[in-house]
Amino acid sequence: MNNINKVNHLAIIMDGNARWANSQKLPYSQGHLVGADRIKKLIPHFIELGIPYVTLYAFSSENWRRSKIEVAFLLKLLYHYLEKETASLHKNGVKIKVIGRLNLLNDKLKKQINDAVELTKNNNIITICIAFSYGGRTEIVDACQNILDSGKTNIDEEEFKNYLYDPTMPDVDLLIRTSGELRISNFLLWQIAYAELYFSLKYWPDFAKEDIIAALDDYEKRKRTFGAR
């Protein structure tokens, strides 16, 4: 893979858990559980493929509109995932980050997130960033509010990045969305300005190593000009 087409930041919209569950005649909760397990199975492949930064869209700002039962289940799922997997991820050199309006989460979950982030902050094999209670528009609005609060009246793009949820996040090279939907859904709007887009028909619980490789192979064939000729 040439340098211009090296994937330094892979972003994934993990779509289709509920539809996968429906296709298997299972409750939607089972789809979310299998989807979470899919993350666990794919992280070693991300490492093997040499992708240093992966952002996973787990829970959007719009998802708060879902039923209270489903929202509560998803909050508990993140808590238990971090509770069970953080030690193993840490052992394998994974740095964990979580971005979004985390102030909306309960104290127990916020503590679990903070503990995971703190434990893994010096790891450097791969960064796994979980976008939770996240919206691209709210990230930009929150950045603008923080700039106003700072008293700054003149700012450029490079300085603006310092007010995003993760100022060190690299621009997205490749964005994958599963389940056949052809939209961005308010995900990393600032960071995907020049990202290549790849859409898979597979539901997230069925997405496997060979599907990542297929997306990377497709990406390698793209000509990235970043507005130039």
pTM, full prediction: 0.95
Q: Which helix (H) or strand (E) holds 120?
A: helix 107-120
Domain of residue 204 covers 3-220
Q: Indicate the SS3 state at residue 58.
A: strand
Strands 196-199 and 9-13: unpaired
Domain count, the chain: 1
For residue 200, count other CB atoms closer than 10 A to its CB.
21
- Residue 139 within any structural domain of the chain: yes
- Residue 226 within any structural domain of the chain: no
pLDDT at 218 over 90: yes
Per-residue pLDDT, 5: 75
Q: Considering the chain, what percentage of its residues have pLDDT values greater than 70?
A: 97
- Residue 140 within any structural domain of the chain: yes
CATH code of residue 76: 3.40.1180.10
- Residue 26 within any structural domain of the chain: yes
Distance CA 214, CA 45 (A): 13
- Residue 228 within any structural domain of the chain: no
- Residue 113 within any structural domain of the chain: yes
Q: Is 162 known to be catalytic?
A: no
For residue 220, count other CB atoms closer than 10 A to its CB.
14
- Is residue 58 very low, low, confident or very high in pLDDT (cuts 50, 70, 90)? very high
Q: Considering only CA atoms, which of 15, 34, 29, 114 is closest in space to residue 74?
A: 29
Per-residue pLDDT, 1: 45
- Is residue 82 very low, low, confident or very high in pLDDT (cuts 50, 70, 90)? very high
Q: Among the listed ranges 105-114, 125-134, 220-229, which one has the minimum average pLDDT value?
A: 220-229
Distance CA 89, CA 116 (A): 10
Given strand 94-99, what is the order of strands in its sheet?
Answer: 94-99, 126-134, 53-60, 9-13, 174-177, 196-199
More confident call, 152 vs 225: 152
Q: Is 63 known to be catalytic?
A: yes
The string of pLDDT tens digits covering residues 172-207 is 999 999 999 999 999 999 999 999 999 999 999 999
Question: What is the DSSP code (8-state) at residue 171?
Answer: P
Mean predicted confidence (pLDDT) in 94-102 = 98
Per-residue pLDDT, 4: 57
Catalytic residue among 5, 8, 22, 63: 63
- Residue 132 within any structural domain of the chain: yes
- Residue 229 within any structural domain of the chain: no
